[in-house]
Each structure stands twice: as structure tokens, then as C-alpha cells.
A and B are shown apart, each in its own frame.
Chain A
Amino acid sequence: MQPSLTDFQDLFVEALYNPEADTLTLLTDQPGFSVYRNTVMKGAVDALQANFPTVERLVGSEWFLAAAAIHARHAPPVDARLVYHGSGFPEFLDRFEHAQQMPYLGNVARLDLLWNQCHTAMEEPRVDVTRLAALTPEELARRVLKPRRAAQWIWFADQPVFTIWRHNREQTPMPETLAWHGEGALLVRSGGVVTWHALTVGECAFLDACKAGAPLELAAQQATETEPSLDMLDLLTRLVGADAFAANEPA
């Protein structure tokens, strides 16, 4: 009896991912069925390769493609926009038994994901520096600075992930000695190009507070509680210069 279209599609998907499946054998016994299996796998692996170039540079193509194929078999894309495929890849690498010697690999993948977010984020006008500079100290303290969607940051508490990511992304030699401490990173798209900057823990705390809607004075207070030696004026100058903030009205 002819299966319903729903049943056919359930059986077909099962046969795509499970070579041992004993359903639809009239199809899977034909050499042409492997064309579908190969194309589906290649589509998912190609998307991971496009979205995680730094991970690939770090581990080499052969290792990367093998890992991507394992991931692709167990976690098909959930979004047809393959530019967003791989949100679960960092967690996969965290747990992947063959990556246990590289415990930073999942975090390197997180920075690649962040780069993609910046690259595809909506356009927003940047904050007007001259208007900001014209504010009185009281007005500035009350001002809410909203990070642009094309500005993304992350703090890694235990690993020098930004240094590892940056040298592989830029294809520059790694430092001979790597100080094993936490690092933060800010990625910003400006003028169509994504750039990256190192951040300290207090600087990340400042951006977190800004994103949560805290006025400048409160955000600075939270940042200096996290990192008492933080130079707020220097930080603000660097963040505004990096186009991290969107234009908005005073709170």
C-alpha cells in the first residue's frame, strides 16, 4: 500500500541519516539514494566550514571536516538560512571526545558565531560623538548608551580565547608563551567590516550594564566594582571610537 506523504517523508529522513534503516529499501538499494545522502551531508558540512573558519584554521581541514560530518549526522540544520547554522557546534566541540586536548575549541567557535552575528546584524546609526561631548557631566551620567546590534562581546573567564582566535583569524604566528588567564573580546561591524578588540572583565561588565539599559553612571559603577582599576574615560573613548554604540535619545 502506498504510504501517506507524511509517512513517506518520515521514512525518507530516517533513511537519509541511518544507513542501517530497513525502511524504503526499494529506494535505499538504488545507487541514486546515496546522492541524496551525500548532498544533505555536504550541505550541512559546507555550512559549518563557511561559518567556523577560525576553528578550521586551528585544527586543519581534515580534522574539521571529520568533526563537522559527525555533528551533521546528529544535528541537521534547524534553519534553512545556513548562514546561521551551527549554533550548537560550540557545545558539540566542548563535549567532543577527540577535542579534549583543546578545551578552548568550543570557545573559539563561539567567537566565530559572534563574528557572523556582527556581519549580518541590522544597520543602526552610530552615536553622535559631538553631541556626546557637548553634554554636561550630570547629563552624561544620566545618559543611556545602547550598544549597536553589530557590536557583540563575550568574556571567557579561564582561557586566553581571544588571543588564540585572533592569531588564527588573522593568520599571524601565535605568541611563544600564552598567558593562561581569562580574556574578553569585542567584535564590531563598522563600514561593512568586522573588527575585533580585546576587553577586560570590567569592560565586558560595562557593556553588559549598557545593554541592560543602565545609565552611564550606574554602568560605570558596576564595571569598577568588577574591576576597580578600570580607566572609564579611556574605555569610553575606545568604545565610541570603535562604533560600539547606537544613536539614541537621552534617557
Chain B
Amino acid sequence: MNTSLTLGAGLGLKADHYEAAFDCAAKGVWFEVHPENYMIDGGPRLAWLETIGSRHPLSLHGVSLSLAADCAPDVEHLQRLKTLIDRVQPALVSEHLAWSTWRGQYHPDLLPFPRTGQALQRIADNIQHTQDVLQRRIAVENPSHYVQLEGHACSEIEFLAELSARTGCGLLLDINNVFLSAHNMGYDANAYVDAFPGEAIMEIHLAGHSSDPGGAALLIDSHDAPVAEPVWALYQRLIQRVGPRPTLIERDDHIPPFGELLLERDRAQTLLEGLPCNRL
């Protein structure tokens, strides 16, 4: 299925918004969740996801498959993801270019690694294995960066492009991550967005960020504010080059009423619909 034909701009689904999300009739709308929160046996939360999924397209955006760990993905975790996929039939499934589970412990963050040849081989194997088990293509997201790592053998874009070439996986371009990583690491966000392989992009993320409360001159991927204007500008620059792609507004903290989030989503929807090559 060419999801770009059916998915416009979507919203991260919050428990407080279940009823409003179900009732929402906005054109192109879809909803994304972290599958980890729904890998349960039953109960009202899972029932709500199925109910909303009966009316709207869903996306499962994983945070803990730990594709960049130097080991295969956890067998039980991958099976639970497959079970959830079979249950709610999402339009999109995605994960991060990061690691979080290691030696039986889960460290709830998206952790960095040196982009070496060894890491490339390991992560390509992990993506391939994941796609084989799930029997579908996944999208892999560029993470946010806060530290300079030694030992990178290539750029992040080269690394992601090679993963896509080796495994057939798609890419999820998080433009807020590009913006704040460019600020934190000292590179040009426009150049990053321009160089990103457009044909592989299955989904785009937009979110808000904040300044480091610790006082360092860092921007933090906090998802606690509206999307910043420079991020909107990067988004427009990208979609004018690559065309419309399913676009998500992420918000995980200081969550406003549903109607307010929907207005922010409408801005992305309007931009998508206004593209010359628009097929939404």
C-alpha cells in the first residue's frame, strides 16, 4: 500500500484524548502510539486502541526494540510486537536508530553509538530479522544527539541510506531531531534535510523542544511544546523537495486539549495539501 495516498497529518494518541480521537473527522488524520504501552493481554486501554483503529489508520512507533544493541532483538518482545500488529493492523511500523535494551535491562532512552562498519552490519541484521518476523517493511528514525562520539566511520545520512539499501527498510525523518542535533552538534540542518534520501522516507515527525534545564547550551527533544517555527521551515523545505509524506505531530508532555493539537496538525495537513504534486 502506498501510504502517502491515504495518510495525511496525524497525531500521537494520548489516553486523555481517546474519545475525541475516535470522533475526529479531520481529513487525512491518523494516530500513532508506542506499541510498548499496548503490549498487554486486555483491558480498556487495548480496547480503546482497537476501537480507534476501527475508524482511523494507526501507526506503531517503537521505542525499545534496541536495533542498535550488539545482539538480536529480544525474541519475546518481537513476538509481542507481531501479536499487536496482527491485532490492530497498523498502516505504519517504525523504530529508532538507537539502543535501549542491553543484557536484560531496559534503559528508557534512545542511546547513541559509534557508526562503525561493525555497527552497520549488526543493525542491518537486526532490521532484516525484525522485518522477517513482522513480515513487513519498517521505518527507522534518525535520533536526537547530545554528545560528540569518537569513531564514526560515516555520516548518519550515509549510515541510514546504507541500512535502507541493504534491508529495504524505509526511513522516518524526525525534523525536530535534525534541528536540535544540528544545534547541539554544530552542523547545518538545511544541508542535512537536503541530503536525506527522499525516496526512502515513509514518515515525517514534527515535535517541540526545549532548552536544557541543566544550563548547558543544548536543545532537548522534550516533546513538551508546540512545533518551533524553524522546524516548520525545515519541514516545508523537505516536502517541497520530496512531496507529501505521512506527517506526525508528537506531543508527550504539557499536553494541551485535543482541539489545540488538532489545529497544529491542520497546519501540516494544509502544507501537504498545498504541494504542487499533492495526491492526498
Query: Which positions in A face B, CB cutoff 8 Å?
Result: 2, 4-6, 8-10, 12-13, 16, 26-27, 30-36, 38-40, 42-44, 47, 76-83, 119-123, 149-150, 189, 192-193
Contacts and interface: CB of A to CB of B under 8 A. Distances in A.
B257 interface: no
Nearest to A35: B146
B107 A13 contact: yes
A40 B218 CA distance: 17
12 contacts: A2-B150, A30-B148, A32-B184, A34-B216, A36-B112, A40-B108, A43-B108, A44-B108, A77-B107, A80-B101, A119-B43, A120-B45
Nearest to A44: B108
B44 A6 contact: no
A43 B109 CA distance: 8
Interface stretch (B115-123, B131-139, B160-168, B196-204): B115-123
Given A35-B218, A78-B105, 14 more contacts: A4-B118, A5-B70, A9-B102, A32-B216, A35-B146, A35-B212, A43-B107, A43-B109, A78-B104, A78-B106, A81-B39, A119-B45, A120-B46, A150-B42
B107 A40 contact: yes
A26 B112 CA distance: 14
A175 to B, nearest CB: 31
B124 to A, nearest CB: 13
Contact of B108 (A2, A77, A119): A77
Interface of B: 36-37, 39-47, 63-64, 69-70, 74, 77, 80, 99-109, 111-114, 116, 118-119, 122, 145-151, 184, 212, 214, 216, 218, 220
Nearest to B144: A35
B107 A16 contact: yes
A32 to B, nearest CB: 3
In the A-B complex, the 3 residue pairs with the smallest Cβ-Cβ separation, listed nearest first, are A43-B108, A32-B146, A80-B64
A81 B108 contact: no
A31 B185 CA distance: 12
Contact of A80 (B77, B112, B184): B77
Contacts of A35: 146, 212, 214, 218, 220
Contacts of B80: 81
Nearest to B74: A80
